[in-house]
Amino acid sequence: MDLLKSAFDMLPRRRRRSPGSGSEQAVLSTKTAAALLCAACSPHAQTGSGGSELPYYGRSPPFCPSPPGNGSTNARWALAYGHARDLVALMTVDEKVNITRGWPGPCVGNTGEVPRLGIPALCFADGPSGIRGQEFVSAFPAGIHVAATFDRDLMYRYGQALGSEYYGKGINVALGPVAGPLGRVARGGRNWEGLSNDPYLAGAGMGAITRGIQEAGVIATPKHWLLNEQEFRRRWTPMGDAISANVDDRTLHELYAFPFMDALREGAGAVMCSYQRANHSYACQNSKLLNGILKTELGFEGFVVSDWDGQMSGVASANAGLDLVMPNAGFWGDSLLQAVHNGSVSDERISDMATRILAPWYYLRQENAYPPPAIFNNLQQHFPVDVQGDHAKLIEEIGAAGTVLVKNVNNTLPFKKPKFLCVYGYDATVKANPWQNRDRYSGGYDENFGWNTFNGTLVTAGGSGGSTPPYVVSPFQALQERVTKDRGILRWDFYSDKPTPYVNADACLVFINAYASESFDRTSLTDEFSDRLVLNVASWCAKTIVVIHSAGIRTVSAWITHPNITATLFAGLPGQESGHSLTSLLYGETNPSGRLPYTVALAEADYGANLLNSTVSFDPNPDQDFTEGLFIDYRHFDRHQITPQFEFGFGLSYTTFAYANFSVSVSAVQHNATNLAEFPDDNVRVVQGGHPALWEVVALARCVVANTGEVDGAEIAQLYVGVPGAGVDSPVRQLRGFVKVGPLVPGQGREVVFELTRRDLSVWDVVAQKWRLRRGVYRVWVGASSRDLRGEGELVVG
């Protein structure tokens, strides 16, 4: 959601339009109610406010009518639907309309209540890595940091801990996790909120985090559906319509919708639609995306909530599948009531909207004694509820597990009781006064609790996805704690880019960062001040260790090969325990196992124009054509044989691992590769998450991983698949499995089994409109990264 403004992003809080103007007029020109219903999904209604001619892609195809949710996914949804339908049957149209809109209230979003029937307002809050703007809440690592752990168990525990904080504060709906943006644009301002640009890794995180949040009793809201891949022109502005993300059908399925499937599969009760347009139709009124892909193909049972102020029409959005508008009545409220009375929105649709909002409430059993909102919003004073529990321990663990060691020569790390450390750079310590800005909107602290570059250590980044730390353990604080234990000394300079040399230092740590925020994209993946600082220290310090906190990719070619730079860590956005996570790695109490969740290029231009910059266009009807298709990040580097600085999936350890005995075969359940059907069985009903057969394990890969070094450590074994056609119409290889193996003691080996589902091996067939197992040879690799491949096998599907 959006709480920020910038020159490129200036949608007024409430944008009113006279009834019957723009797309609504066209919708309502037909006569009968039935015709009106379909007209609302007509291609014309699919457009945004502009009606200009469309250069590349056509308009998004209408998908009509909106499929009512029915709970047929499983017994738990069926039960929830039973309760929701009974309640909706008692509601007047007025009351149904009331719960489909936002009202002022204590939370960032509050639905209308129905006092007559005891239906409370549902409380919505940001964000994906911690409750934003509140006191006595934790600041968890950001999504991209969690992804870098490549650890499903940590992802799940992250979701559980987050969920328990939301629950404790009486928040019904958590606005996360994030898989949109996926991370197509290297400089994208929000890539750090999401779980990496690889759909499989992101999907694993989306599923595990959703499960964790919902097990705590809180409704998860995977967002932003769909294709919100850049910040520039993401919204309507006086300059014109929002950017139109124009993506082919196969890419939409295999990259962008893919990770959402995992969250849906785990029962996600809500989905947030995005600001921008897709094929010229605003995402919150795009019936192909909402009615078609989300509610029909993926069987979504819950409700679609608009991104804040993201609704762009009344009747058209209702009939396209939007169920709830936030944060106010938007184009609904009394207008929706009228539209139901005059038949342009059907009774079935408004009942479905209300049912879809109440079903997840029952699904999560929130009707029974849910805690009341304990939200601090500057309007009232109260003793805040402390929901932090013992989450600091988990935060420290994830902070360390998601930190990636990319260079370590001559055993610079781990430290062996150094006596004299130098600490340099603005990122080593805390910002002088991060609370200087009050956020009048969320009521909490600091409009933007991220730190700008040069303004202190970066533990979260900017905008609604940022967290509000209860405290921040800076790297400097944690280093002081360690050095005092060893009776050593420290010298530091947080300001200069040419700090004083100390010839007796055992090592010099240089802390730099790369900031990003919602509402604007980055202009560079590097900055000169930081590069100069690193080079100046390295010019006299023979053991220079660089630590980068970054909200996404940070290129390092200005200095990474310097002989005096003997260690480098990508420390991500680790959350409140930042310093402790880091010292645990520096001093070898934790052996690094984090892996890069993106490609670090040698030069920014290597990403290619499509993937580097977002479109900054003054066109009133701007387009962003995803002409690269499936080939983003490492798929692009592999396809064009571009050597990266550090490839996707790369990361070092203090020990070494050997891989042996790799094999891949059709799973025992399926017996035989020749009787694997090409398509899932049409006679089987779709459930939430898609066709159930997509989730069946059809093949297994195995290998043995052994610790061949001298210290305990865990390896991230990765499985990559090249489908038949790889290198032609498909990526050379794509991540389709990962297992964190260990920790293993020196000499210890363990068998690793990767499960490959039908979805993992399928491509989206645009003609059949189904996931399809291709006939032919699948190449399968196990590796320590996307380029460090340690075993290869084949799977013949015939």
The residues carrying an active-site annotation are: 307
Closer of 480 and 564 to ligand NAG (Cβ) = 564
- At CA 613, angle to CA 607 and CA 615, rounded to 5? 140
Is residue 780 within 8 A of residue 717, CB to CB? The reply is: no
Determine which helix (DSSP H) or strand (DSSP E) holds 410, and give its type and residue range: none
- Alpha-carbon distance of 1 to 223, in angstroms, equals 9
Residues lying near ligand NAG in the complex (CB under 6 A): 19-20, 24, 28, 57-58, 60-61, 67, 70, 72, 94-95, 98, 103, 112-115, 121, 248-249, 278-279, 288-289, 295-296, 299, 314, 335, 338-339, 342, 344, 409-410, 452-455, 538-540, 542, 563-564, 566, 660-661, 672, 674-675, 685-686, 704, 749
Cβ proximity to ligand NAG, 627 vs 643, nearer residue: 627
List, in sequence order, every beta strand (DSSP E) within 198-337.
219-220, 244-246, 270-273, 277-278, 281-282, 303-306
| Bridge partners for 410 per DSSP | none
Whole-number minimum distance, CB 296 to ligand NAG, in Å?
5
Closest CA to 141 of 176, 108, 170: 176
Q: How far is the CB of 448 from ligand NAG (least distance, A)?
A: 8
Say how many Å lie between the first and final Cα of the chain, rounded.
Answer: 46
In this structure, how many other beta carbons lie within 10 angstroms of the beta carbon of residue 415?
A: 18
Between vectors from CA 273 to CA 353 and to CA 649, what angle results, nearest 5°? 135
C-alpha 402, offset from chain centre: 15
CB neighbour list of residue 416: distance below 8 Å, 6 or more residues apart? none
Q: For every residue of 267-314, which 3-state class applies, written as one string? A: CCCEEEECCCEECCEEHHHCHHHHHHHHHHHCCCCCEEEECCCCCCCC
DSSP 611-625: HHPPP----SS-EEE
Q: Which is nearer to ligand NAG, 452 or 757 (CB)?
A: 452
State the Cα–Cα distance between residues 659 and 648, nearest whole angstrom. Answer: 19
Query: Please, which residues bridge with residue 744 across strands?
Result: 713
Nearest approach, Cβ of residue 108 and ligand NAG (Å): 15
Report the nearest approach of ligand NAG to the CB of residue 2 (Å): 19
| Residue type (1 letter), 566 | T
CA 702 to chain centre: 29
Dist. CA 276–CA 274, nearest whole Å:
6
- To the nearest 10 degrees (0 to 180), the angle between helices 578-586 and 475-485 is 50
CB 549 within 8 A of CB 584: no
**Complex with ligand NAG: residue 19 or 488, whichever CB lies closer:** 19
In whole angstroms, the minimum distance from the beta carbon of 533 to ligand NAG comes to: 13
Cβ proximity to ligand NAG: between 64 and 732 the closer is 64
Report in angstroms how near the CB of residue 554 gets to ligand NAG at its nearest: 17
Instruction: Classify residue 136 as left (phi > 0), alpha (psi -120 to 50) or beta.
Output: left
Q: How far is the CB of 779 from ligand NAG (least distance, A)?
A: 21
Which residue's CB is nearer to ligand NAG, number 338 or number 388?
338
Q: How far is CA 477 from CA 192, 500, 554, 583, in A?
A: 25, 21, 25, 10
Q: How far is the CB of 452 from ligand NAG (least distance, A)?
A: 5
As measured in angstroms, the least distance from the Cβ of 721 to ligand NAG is 22
Owner of token pair 């999504």: 143
What is the DSSP code (8-state) at residue 535? H
Return the number of the residue (187 or 295) whose C-beta is nearest ligand NAG.
Answer: 295
Residues whose CB is less than 8 angstroms from the CB of residue 390 and which lie 6 or more positions away in sequence, other chains included: none
Nearer CB in complex with ligand NAG: 289/387: 289
* Per-residue buried b or exposed e for 126-144, using 16+ beta carbons within 10 Å of the residue's own CB: bbbbbbbbbbbbbbbbbbb
Q: Which two tokens stand for residue 380?
A: 């009232």
Nearer to ligand NAG, 371 or 749 (CB): 749
Closer CB to ligand NAG, 162 or 569, in the complex: 569
CA atoms of 521 and 542, how far apart (whole Å):
36
**Minimum separation from the CB atom of position 120 to ligand NAG (A):** 9
Nearest approach, Cβ of residue 367 and ligand NAG (Å): 17
Our CB check for ligand NAG shows the closer of 641 and 675 to be 675
Grouping H, G, I as helix, E, B as strand and the rest as coil, residue 219 is strand
Question: What is the C-alpha separation between 512 and 457, in angstroms, rounded?
Answer: 8
For the chain, what's the residue count? 798
